[in-house]
Amino acid sequence: MNLSESARAVFAVLAAAGTATRPQLAAGAGLSKPTVSSAVAELEAAGLAAHSGTASSGTGRNAAVYRLGPAAGAVLAVDLGPALTRVHGCALDGTLLAEATSPRADAVDAVREALAALPANAPLRSIVVAVGDVTTRDLEGAGMRPATAKAGPVFDAIAVALPSGVPVHLENNVNCAALAELHEGAARGRRTFGYLRIGVGVGLGIVVGGEVLRGANGAAGEVARLPYPWDEGREPRREALEGQIGARSLLRRTRQAWRDTDGPCPRTADRLFALAGEGHATAAAVVAHHAADVGRIAAAVTAVLDPGLIVLGGSTGADPQLVPGVRAELDRLSWPTEVVSSTVGDSGTVVGAARLAVARGVQNVTEPAAAKD
């Protein structure tokens, strides 16, 4: 947009704060009060900022309070999960404006529902789609097929519902969940950590210095590609580790370990963990074995990254029953590292995707307009 440098700086501060007075905007942007007054007037004229009331300054004077204006717009975050699609629409200050959830097969309906709930006069600034593959990619607009086999068909379907001309960013779903843990979850206050997701698949989100590490190919943290098995007489197979640690393998091992006297064999991981929590001996043994397996992945992560903290997430990884076993195996094979369970739950991916969408939306507003030939 054609904004002055000072207006761009003030807008970024206002978006981060939600509401602010001119003295607060001046302090946040590092600008003089007269410059901020001029910038605020520019933003108000563009509909990017609006007066929202007054606040006492403590000196007997009232200060005008500002918020984002209707022209600031909104962003859309889509989590194409393995079973469910979750969609959040947010203002550029992060306020949740719309949300929808549907089975993955009905992803288009969820996207359309969230879009319909956004303010009609709010331009869409950015779209982030969280996918279960290594791809991290920017698209010029809706309707372009991403280079990822796992996300392709579903993305092609939802692209029809996405407004044209809006920047679309594809992000690895584990990276999005790591962002949620960083800002709102178990890793708040930590600048470096690893988010290890264990569910149907396995993945790692790496945060270093408060930033997600994506790697040269957008594939940093793809622990499913660790060589496995690695033993004399056995050749590693591609993504064999995911086949060993994933939820399907966990249930297969459960069936193999189950005895006739154990009662009905659990058909879901949730039921397995529930039985283990109730003290069922066979269920507890299977869960303990699973914790040791996860601990071995954590040991590999620690050996390479030394993250100081590992957050366990995912449909099986987030269960607190795993933590003691993971810690024990990690201590045995590597060096002591803090291990905690995720606190953002199933919504972590879409929450993280929304944070990324907001950051990109603010950037799209505050970037200088490209010069035309």
Q: Does domain 186-343 have CATH number 3.30.420.40?
A: yes
Spatial CB neighbours of 262, under 8 Å, sequence gap ≥ 6: 280, 282, 283
Give the pLDDT confidence of 3-13 residue by residue, as tens digits. Answer: 999 999 999 99
pTM check: above 0.85: yes
pLDDT at 217: 84
CA distance 326 to 275: 19
Give the pLDDT confidence of 342-368 residue by residue, as tens digits. Answer: 999 889 999 999 999 999 999 999 987
Is 186-343 the same fold as 5-71?
no
pLDDT at 147: 40
CATH topology classification for 5-71: Arc Repressor Mutant, subunit A (1.10.10)
- Residue 149 pLDDT greater than 60, yes or no: no
Q: Where are the domains of the chain?
A: 5-71, 73-172+349-366, 186-343
pLDDT at 369: 60
**Mean pLDDT value of segment 200-208:** 95
- Residue 114 pLDDT greater than 50, yes or no: yes
pLDDT at 57: 61
pLDDT at 61: 75
In the structure encoding, which two tokens stand for residue 243, read together? 């086949």
Give the pLDDT confidence of 296-340 residue by residue, as tens digits. Answer: 999 999 999 999 999 999 999 999 999 999 999 999 999 889 999
- Residue 234 pLDDT greater than 60, yes or no: yes
pLDDT at 157: 75
CA distance 339 to 326: 8
Q: How confident is the model at residue 106 (pLDDT cuts 50, 70, 90)?
A: very high
Q: Does domain 73-172+349-366 have CATH number 3.30.420.40?
A: yes
CA distance 228 to 202: 13
- Residue 295 pLDDT greater than 80, yes or no: yes
Q: How confident is the model at residue 164 (pLDDT cuts 50, 70, 90)?
A: confident
Give the pLDDT confidence of 16-73 residue by residue, as tens digits. Answer: 999 999 999 999 999 999 999 999 999 999 999 999 888 876 666 788 999 999 999 9
Residue with tokens 């000196």: 59
CA distance 336 to 324: 12
